[in-house]
């Protein structure tokens, strides 16, 4: 009802006019194209730009996440390694989502490099909207864990600011209902291909050990974290 369209962040890597700001991204691009795999799999700026717009139709302006029919996760600021892993997981049916299977299976390695680099660089404000009454409890679980239930501090892998690292996803600013749903349905959505076990197994016992109120509290805390 109270719709506030967020301002799209400037895409330094792909939108700036030629000039000083382009030098660094150009160098990064040059490096990534220099690798043998990417050399035969080129992708134009225009193609990347069009694909980014396509992603943001569902994932929200500046990839901050969006409430469609489903909660559609924030991709902004996400580590590139995690994003690449997940796209691969959709394609290999280790992570089940029909829509994301279709999205993922047409992406070339060069396109995946470009998209994940772009999303990683974005830093819009969190969407917000979660209940605020259990944020303190959520912060406590995130930072200290729940020792008596064998739940380690989330911060030990996801980082003290929830920014993630490598294969560990950023959780800061992630949608409240997205986090709740993932933690609640972990075994139904992740690690779905028994012949290809993956890193989702790391999170499995933790998701199980958290109670519903604990999940909601952590999700609420993270959803406001910038």
**Residue 103 engages other proteins in binding (rule: CB under 8 A):** yes
For residue 7, the minimal CB distance to other proteins (Å) is 10
Are 197 and 117 in contact by the 8 Å Cβ rule? The answer is no
Give the separation between CA 171 and CA 219, rounded to whole angstroms: 9
Tell me how far, at minimum, the Cβ of 62 lies from other proteins, in Å: 13
106 interacts with other proteins by CB under 8 A: yes
Q: Which residues 6+ apart lie within 8 Å of 147 measured at CB?
A: none
Q: Which is nearer to other proteins, 7 or 211 (CB)?
A: 7
187 binds other proteins (CB under 8 A): no
Q: Which is nearer to other proteins, 66 or 221 (CB)?
A: 66
Report the residue count for the chain.
226
What's the CA gap between 110 and 115, in Å, rounded?
9
User: For residue 54, how far is the Cα from the chain centroid?
Assistant: 16
Select 45 or 208, whichever has its Cβ closest to other proteins.
45
CA-to-CA separations, 22 to 9, 27, 33, 66, 213, in angstroms, rounded: 16, 8, 16, 30, 47
Q: Interface with other proteins includes 22 (CB under 8 A)?
A: no
Encoded one letter per residue, x for contact with other proteins by CB under 8 A and - for no contact, window 41-70 reads ---------xx-xx--xx-------xxxxx
Interface residues toward other proteins, by CB under 8 A: 1, 3, 5, 50-51, 53-54, 57-58, 66-70, 72, 98-99, 102-103, 105-106
């Amino acid at each position: 009802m109270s719709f506030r369209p967020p301002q799209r962040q400037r895409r330094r890597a792909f939108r700036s006019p030629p000039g000083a700001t382009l030098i660094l991204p150009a160098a990064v691009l040059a490096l990534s194209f220099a690798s043998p795999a990417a050399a035969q799999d080129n992708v134009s700026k225009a193609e990347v730009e069009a694909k980014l717009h396509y992603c943001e139709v569902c994932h929200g302006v500046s990839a901050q996440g969006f409430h469609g029919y489903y909660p559609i996760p924030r991709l902004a600021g996400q580590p590139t390694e995690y994003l690449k892993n997940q796209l691969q997981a959709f394609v290999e049916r280790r992570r089940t989502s029909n829509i994301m299977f279709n999205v993922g299976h047409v992406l070339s390695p060069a396109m995946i490099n470009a998209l994940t680099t772009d999303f990683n660089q974005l830093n819009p404000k969190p969407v917000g909207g979660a209940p605020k009454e259990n944020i303190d409890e959520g912060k406590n679980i995130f930072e200290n864990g729940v020792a008596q239930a064998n739940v380690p501090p989330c911060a030990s892998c996801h980082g003290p600011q929830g920014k993630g690292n490598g294969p560990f996803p950023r959780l800061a600013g992630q949608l409240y209902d997205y986090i709740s749903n993932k933690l609640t349905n972990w075994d139904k959505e992740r690690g779905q291909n028994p012949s290809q076990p993956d890193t989702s197994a790391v999170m499995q016992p933790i998701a199980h050990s958290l109670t519903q109120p604990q999940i909601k509290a952590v999700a609420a805390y993270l959803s406001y974290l910038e």
